[in-house]
Amino acid sequence: MTAPEHERPVPAFEAVGLARSYRLEGVSVDALRGVDLRIDHGEFVAIIGPSGSGKSTLMHLLGCLDRPTSGILRVNGVDVATLDDTGLAELRNQAIGFVFQSFHLLGRTSALDNVALPLVYRGVGRSERRERARRALEAVGLAHRLDHRPSQMSGGEQQRVAIARALVGDPKVVLADEPTGNLDSRNGQEVMDILTELNAARGVAVVLVTHEREVADLARRRIHVRDGQVELDERDGVGGSPQGVSAQGDPAAGRREGP
Ligand SMILES: Nc1ncnc2c1ncn2[C@@H]1O[C@H](COP(=O)(O)OP(=O)(O)OP(=O)(O)O)[C@@H](O)[C@H]1O
Ligand SMILES: [Mg+2]
């Protein structure tokens, strides 16, 4: 049963006809072509699809790192079109933690200072920044690596630093673009354990892009993207029933055959 519209909680993300085109040497590339999507707080979602299908483009829009060309995107109920660049950066900083496949850490800066950086933009004082960064690193099992630079850490450790940096601001949502893509299976498993625990214990919504079936299967919902559109929106069944399939937006989408 679906609650009446006015009683439903504000979703983490709501996209209507979301589109993003890139202009490249006079040619327009339509990376996203009308995505309708709702992701609630507390969900654990995997975004899957072929290379070039628009997954990272979608993640950048959800993460307020980029703006749509057309369509509506609401983050925590706020229409991003109503925000200037400062407002967009604030929304991102307050609500969202972002983890990239390639880590995006500052190479000459210690793990502690890398993790503390987002708090600088929030105006948190130095000693509190360092304390919170230390706790975030502890939470990902890196209490013994606070003073190491990224170049002095393994790939798995660097990815965990990137996760600690995404967590330090207590985001309601963590977006992760192929968080296990550069890792071997053991390190990948550790990263997934952290994200799963974060979702289960703290109710943080996790939205991740992955090419790996086992990783996608850890999520309770899988959004299949193809050619810049949502092809299939698949949710795990409730109460042990076989995997339920529900369409978002396009009612035909759920009936379409898989790849
Ligand atoms: N800055 C850009 N300028 C022009 N075209 C771009 C740009 N970024 C992405 N594209 C194009 O938009 C499409 C979608 O790219 P996107 O990075 O979202 O794909 P993806 O699904 O994340 O792929 P992958 O699995 O390989 O990471 C691709 O055709 C890509 O070439
Ligand atoms: Mg990508």
Check whether 120 has a pLDDT greater than 80.
yes
CATH superfamily name and code, 40-56+95-238: P-loop containing nucleotide triphosphate hydrolases (3.40.50.300)
Check whether 2 has a pLDDT greater than 70.
no
Considering the chain, what percentage of its residues have pLDDT values greater than 90? 74
Q: Per-residue pLDDT tens for 60-110?
A: 999 999 999 999 999 999 999 999 999 999 999 889 999 987 778 999 999
Q: Higher model confidence: residue 18 or residue 24?
A: 18
Q: Per-residue pLDDT tens for 232-254?
A: 999 987 443 334 444 444 434 44
Quick one: which ligand is closest to 52's CA? 1
Q: Where are the domains of the chain?
A: 40-56+95-238
Q: In the predicted model, what is the mean pLDDT of residues 44-73?
A: 96
Check residue 93 and give its pLDDT: 86
Residue 27 Cβ contacting ligand 1 at under 6 Å: no
- Is the pTM above the cut of 0.75? yes
Nearest residue by C-alpha to atom 31 in ligand 1: 52
Check residue 248 and give its pLDDT: 43
Q: Per-residue pLDDT tens for 193-236?
A: 999 999 999 999 999 999 999 999 999 999 999 999 999 999 98
- For residue 180, how far is its CA from the centre of ligand 2 (angstroms)? 13
- Range with the lowest mean pLDDT among 2-11, 90-99, 134-143, 177-186? 2-11
The residue to mutate among 29, 33, 175, 223, having the most atoms of ligand 1 within 8 angstroms of its beta carbon, is 29
Check whether 125 has a pLDDT greater than 60.
yes
Considering the chain, what percentage of its residues have pLDDT values greater than 70? 89
Two structure tokens written together for 68: 């749509």
Q: In the predicted model, what is the mean pLDDT of residues 147-174?
A: 93
Check whether 119 has a pLDDT greater than 50.
yes
